[in-house]
Every structure is written in structure tokens, then in C-alpha cells.
Structure 1
Amino acid sequence: MKCFKKILPIFILFLNSYIVYAQQFTDVYAKLQQSQILNDHFFGFSLYDLDSNRFVVDINGHKHFTPASNTKVFTLYTALEILGDSIPGLQYVERGDSLLFWGTGDPTFLHSKMDSHIVYNFLKNTDKKLFFVPTKMQNRFFAAGWAMDDFDAYYQPEIATFPVYGNVVTFREQANNKMSIVPSFFQNKLTLNPAIDHGEFSLSRAFTKNEFWKSRETIPNNYVNEIPFKYDDSLAIKLLSDTLHKNIQIIGYTKPNQVKTIYSNATSYVLREMMLPSDNYLAEQILMMSSLQKFETFDTYLVRNWMQQTHYKYFSDEVVIHDGSGLSSYNKITPQSMVDVLVSIKNKLPDESRRFKLFSTGGVDGTLKRSYSLDQGVPFVFAKTGTVTSVYCQSGYLITRSGRKMAFSFLNNNFIDEKASTIRKEMVDIVTYIRQNY
């Protein structure tokens, strides 16, 4: 009885504190529950106070949703746990007059926007004979649940151990109705195919090989497009040989226990480039690099399982992830588990200036540049979006006018796709209301 008397005041204090918090957000609950826009489909919202370490608003917080590119927040966390400060660009050994090298999964090599030229210059300037050693990967070139119909879409390049040029061909309109094609190796692979004309100029690729088609001879002004190429190691080395103007041979060779590593980019730079424009290719290759770093093999299933056993099993709900980008329709996450990973990232990167830089800033940059307006001249939302057909999500951090620090996850599924913009506006209105009133 004495023990009960000691515990009772603590329980009452906790209960009163909970009631106070619940009462504080009754207006937010009312907005969510009375919204005809939100209640016309399946939605969930969890709001977490980072200062008091508690959920203060929760609707369908334990229900599983398709997160789309909100999956990249889990990829971000994985990279923070496994990768160091720099991206490994190449592994190599020197044997006499020969240099043998292995891919690391680095997505920036010869990338049109991200290549640092460190690896390129290293291979270009060596006077040794170059030998590439392929590494088997356990993953397929597409992750489970990816749409085969999108095989030639810019946002779905194939996964590889030694990607080059972002695993895409870049087509760009030039003067006099000409087309610039990079890599130039594919210059003669583009032909006319009126059968793919659906009312406007378009490009496509054969399903199983690198034959590219244009629907019309006349190319629109300023036209730019990226089409994934069908990847294999021999093609990657052919493209590299053409670029370096050097002969490179492919050989089989057992990798020694000790290899040297050339680093290509800052990890934070690649993570930011993945998060802000929501780059699927970078997300998948980040997991490939994490796999090599952690397990010395290319098997992202091992990475996801390790994260599950060491981190996600402590989250509010089961985390089901089949890729790094969110293209997979098999991914299932709850709003509370989304908040859990945001809290974990906050604990890993307590410095807000570093952490917020990895998320789109509302009204400033990334996929939230046009969604939010600045409040009192400053941004207040730092979040990741997720968008596929009938899915729109936002998860991230929120700072209120009073200075309260929040993490939130706002997930929407199963709506008619034409309503996406209306749903986005409703979400922005509610998040902005929290900013201005708390």
C-alpha cells in the first residue's frame, strides 16, 4: 500500500500532464477530424514534441501507409549510421605495371552534375595498365515492387555496382534541330519511331537493349530528357574507355583483404542531393555503398535487415521497406514510425544547421519550395515529400512561433490522383496553423 501511495502522485502528475497537452491541441484535432478534404481518403498524422519527447497529436498513427519517397528518410538514416564523412569512389590495388580496380557503388562517377573528377583524374593520370574487376551483386537491377512500365523513365535507372553517367543517357536539343547525346557512345543509337508518338515529342528505349527512339524528327526547343540505359559491366567499361581514351580490360581476380580506396565526394553532399530533388538513383546507390561498407558485399537486403534488427525493431510499429527510394509499392510505414526515424536522425545530428540542410526547406528549396510561404520572414518546415499515384506524404521537422521544436509525419493514401494539389494545400494550411498558434 505504501508503494502504491508513492506511485499514485507520479501517475496523477503524468496523467495531468498528458491531459494538458491533449487539451492544448484540441483545435488541431478538430481541424483534422472535420476536414472534408482529408477524410475523403485514408490519412494519418503524428506530431511529436521534441522538447518534451512525447506525441501530442495522433490520428491513425499506428496504421501502415505506402510512404513513397518518405522512404528516403530511412535511407538517410542508414547512411548516417554506416557511411563515413566521404563517399568511397573506387577500390584498387597495384600489381607491377597494372592497376586493378573495383566499383564501390558510387553514384557520382561521371555524373552530369555531381562528378568531382577525383576518380576520373586518378584513372586518367596513372601510367599503369587498367584492369576492371566486376563484383557480383545479390540485388536485381530493379528492386522488388518497381513498375516494369517505367523501365525507360528518368527516375528509374538500373541499380549497379559500378554506375557511370548516372546510368542514363542525356538527350539535349541543340540548334538546327540537332540532338546532343551524352555519353556520345549512344550517338548512333537514336532512330525515328512514329509508333511511339502519342501527340507530342517523346523518347523511349527498347525494353531489353540500348536502342533509343524518337517519335518525331522535329525536336522541341530546349528539350532535355534522361533515359536509363540497359546496364552491364562490359558496357560500363566501354563507356569509361571511350571517356578516358584508354584501353581497359575486364578480368576475374579475387579481391585482396587489403585494398586502397579513392574517395570522391562528401557524404553530406550526396545525401542532400538525394533528399532535396528526391533522387531515386542516388537513394538506391547509397544503399549499395552502405552494403559494401558494412558487409563487404553488394546486398542491400543485408543492410535493411541489419537496420531492422539494430534500430527499427525499437520503433513504434513494424517497418516494411523493400528499396531505398520509395518506388516500391511494397513499402509500408506508420506515421509514428516515421516520427521515430526523424527523432533518431535528430539524435544522430543534433546540430539543426546540419540536419535541416538535408531536408527541403519550405518556401526556400527542394520539393517544398513552392508549397510553403515564409512566416515572419523565416522558414519553419524542413521535410521530405513523397509522391506517387494516389500517395502524397510529408514528414520532417517544424518550428513554431514560440520556439517549440516538433517532428511530424503527414501521410495520405488512396485518393483520386487529381486531388493531390488540394490535399497538399490542406496539409500546408494545417502545418502552418500549428506553426502560427503554438
Structure 2
Amino acid sequence: MPVRDITDVERLRKINAALISRVERSMDQQGNAFTLFQTAINLENRVRSRTEELRSTLRRLEQSNIDLYSAKEAAEQANLSKTRFLAAASHDVLQPLNAAHLSVSALAEVQTSEEGRRLVGQVERSLATIGNLLQTLLDISRLDAGVVRPDVTEVALEPLFASLKSDFQPLAEQKGLSFRFRAGNAVVRSDRTMLRRILQNIVSNAMRYTRSGGVLVGARRRGATIRIEVVDTGCGIAEDQQEAVFEEFHRGAGAVESDAAGAGLGLGLSIVRRMADTLGHRIAVSSVVGRGTVFRLDVPAVSPRRLGLHSATSPARPRGYGLFGTKVLLIEDDDAVSAAMVALLAHWQCAVRAAASSGEAIRALGDTDWLPDVIIADQHLADGDLGTETVAAVRAYLGRPVPALIVTGDPSPMLAKTTRAAAIELMRKPVKPAELRALLAHLLA
């Protein structure tokens, strides 16, 4: 074959190889493009599927949120209904319980035998336990429902501590315990009633678990706060139980046997934690088993430069409790409570006139020769009358500010403000006769 032909053939082969290579590359590119196209379609399908799954999940989540909100609303409504029910039930139960307290106290006045006095004492302690449990259940319900609104004022600790000492000193003497208070001139910002209840429950707990030694309640300034400490030499609390003591129904194993019947259900410190949280007061506990326990409550302090502007002390409780000849206007619409109160006051040598409403009270005063020395009234009276308004009407009728006391089972904080503004004392049912007698003596002093 001529050289020229060989050269042409070689050239054609190269051209053919180049064309084939180009075609193959083109086909590869088309194949890759097709693969990418298929991949894109698959990805789009997967994205669409995931998007639909996400939308479905969001719809379910939205429905769950709606269901949770409805459940929360139902739970809150049930809680409020429970609070209203307990408040109403407590008032209905406190009325006969109050009558029982007063009747038993009147019965104690006429007992001459040791056995009779012992039995009366047993009944009184049982009634006190029932009353404390009812009040505690109501307090827990109201605190959990968030309906408690603290009335924060400036509270002097010295008279508050003196009141607690008066309550617990007989128990301390009975158990042979030392019982000391150190308040100084400390004044704090808190709700007076709630702060007293907190300290009362802590001191009661300390007394219950202390067999020997004693209990000390003290206050000292720490910067902008006053730290109130309740120190006892009782059985102590194990470290792993020190937070559990604030839980409902938690009761320690070291209660003194004589206190076992009055130890309740272990709700006292649960109330303490709830009230402290409501007031924004920090509470803590430290303890050593076998050596004792310290409860610490931090309360905002009133600036020392303002202490002179306030009358921090309250009048001392009179030592005498003689009520002989005291004229009492009793305004109570419950027949059983009224009869029991009249009987009790009669044993205290008081002269009593009873009424069930505002109108009856005014008619009872028609005889101008009989002017009451003190008024005792329930808050919720017959014909829809209110005790506070009735006291105001009686005072206006007589033209003088007769000392007055509202005795009620109504736990409303607003009532406490109303009575305080009207210079009326307030006592919650069930009434403890000894406290009633002391308060009447204080009002008449």
C-alpha cells in the first residue's frame, strides 16, 4: 500500500477515535445528567414526604398544646372549685365545732371531780386537733390556688415573740424545757399573721421533737435582712431527710410520746414552706442527728433609722382575767353557737344580751340603762348582715367607740384589713375560750 494511503488511513483512525471519544463523553455526561435528574426527583420526593411528616407532626403538636391548655384550664378550675368547696365546708364544720369548743369550756367550769376534768381535757384536745387540721387543709388549698394575697406591713418581732412565748410557755414547763426568745428591737417587713403562723408551726415542731434541753428563738441582722432562727436540742434530722420535712404527710420518728396524739398529719412544715414562698422569705434547715435542729427564716429588715417612727410594742396582756359584771352584746345567728357562748360568758359572770342580726342588736339596746362594755359578733349574720357593719351601726347608735370583736370562720384577708381599719379585733373560729377570755380582758383594760 502506498505511503500516502497509509497516512490517510492513520489520520481517519485518529479522527474516528476522537469522534468516538467525544461521543462517549457526551453519552457519559447525558448519563450523569439523567442520574442527577433522577436524584433530584428522588430528593424532591423525600423532601415533600418529610415536609408532610413535619406538617403532620406540627398539627399533632398544636392539638396536643390545645389539649394541654384545656387540661390546665380544667385543673385550675378544679383547684379553685376545691378551694371554694373547702372554704364553704370548713365554715359549715367550724360552726358546730366552735359551739362544741364553747360548750366544753362551759362544762369544764362546773366540773368538781378529777375524772370529770380529765375527760373534759381530753375532749378539748380532740376538738383542738380537729380544728387545727381543718384550718391547715384550708390554708394549703388557698395557698396552692394562689388566692392568698399577703398584707405586707412593718412587723415588730418583740411583741410577736412575746405572743408565741405566751402560747408555748405552759407546754415548755410541762416538758421541763427551757424556752427563750431574743428579738432585740428588730422590725421586719412581712405579713403579720402569716409570719406568726410560720414561726408558730416551727416552734411547735421543735417542741414536739425535743425531749430535754430547750428551744431558742432569736433574731439577728444580716445586711438587709433579719434572720430569725429557731434552735432546738431535739433528736435532729438526718441529712437526706432535711428537705423532705417540708413535704406533706412527712413525720419524723422522734416525736415525744406525749405529743403523738397531737402530732397531726405532718402538714405543719408543708404550710411553712408554702407561706414562706408566698411571702418571698427564704427558709432553710440544718441539723445534726442526736444534737438538734436549726430552722432559719430570712425576712426583709426595716431600716434602723425608721424604727423610732413606729410604735413597735403592743400593750402587755393583763395578768388579771376578771370579767365580773362585764356587759356583752353578742351578735350571732347560729343558735347552737349563741347558746354555747352565752353559757360560757355567764360562767365568767358576764351580763349578756344576744341578737342574730343588725336590727335585733339595735332593738336590744333600746334600754338606755344597759350599755355594752364590749361587742362580740359573727361576720356573717341573719338577713345578710355583716358583723363589721353591725358593729359600726351599734357604735353610731350609742355614740361611742365600744370595744368590739369579730369571731368568724371567714378566712378572707380583706376581712382582716376591714377589721383593722375599723379598730375591731378579729378571732378565727373555732374559738379557744382561754384566748377569748384573755382578749376580752385586753379590750376592757
Q: TM-score range by the shorter chain?
A: under 0.3
Higher helix share: 2
| TM-score normalised by the chain length of structure 1 | 0.22
| Structure ranking higher in strand proportion | 1
Q: Which has the higher contact order (CA 8 A, sep 6+)?
A: 1
